[in-house]
Amino acid sequence: MTAIEVPTTTIPPAPRHQDQLLKMGIEEQRVLIGATLEELELMEDWYAASTLESHHETLIFPDPPQTDVCIVMVAGAVANTFSDWVEIVDENAASFSSKFAANSGYIVSLINEDFSDADKVYLIEMAYGAAKTVIGRTRMQSGTNKTDTANQERMRALVIPAGETVYYRMASEVESADIYCHIRYYLVPS
């Protein structure tokens, strides 16, 4: 019988938390998971982005302390048909795009506050730029009493580059239905 060779590399104990993994040296991580150096560098970027996604302060549009102002999104004039692309503005015509004038960022969530029609499905797409690059989509349904409490639709939207105009389009089971909502967003520090 031939003896089996056992590798002499010492494998570090597996970390229990992401923080422990980040504190490990790059070589310890490589040995632990058998990854290449290039793969580890990509993972470190992912960990940093993941941590930022999980732990950051979001901003609100329309701007506080305006508690009596919302964004009104309107569906297409034909049931189950998207509206045209419309720039996102609040009831005072303040532009959501202005928030991205100097910094890129992304939409974290759309919080619906009221629906024009009960027991209906609403579809929303959001995009930026002249080409209408889609950054996120959501589907929601109004309750029998419209909405008895605000509901947060997480977007996990793609990044909106600085200086771009932000648009939405909406479809509903009912023609020209609307929702009253606000947006939580995050600006990437420059």
Mind listing the domains of the chain with CATH numbers?
18-54 (no CATH), 59-187 (2.60.120)
The strand pairing partners of 167, in sequence order, are 87, 127
What is the C-alpha separation between 3 and 99, in angstroms, rounded? Answer: 67
What is the C-alpha separation between 19 and 91, in angstroms, rounded? Answer: 44
pLDDT tens figures, 17-57: 555 655 666 566 556 555 555 665 666 666 666 666 566 77
pLDDT tens figures, 52-107: 656 677 899 998 888 889 999 999 999 999 999 999 999 999 999 999 999 999 89
Pick the closest to residue 84 from 73, 98, 92 (CA basis): 73
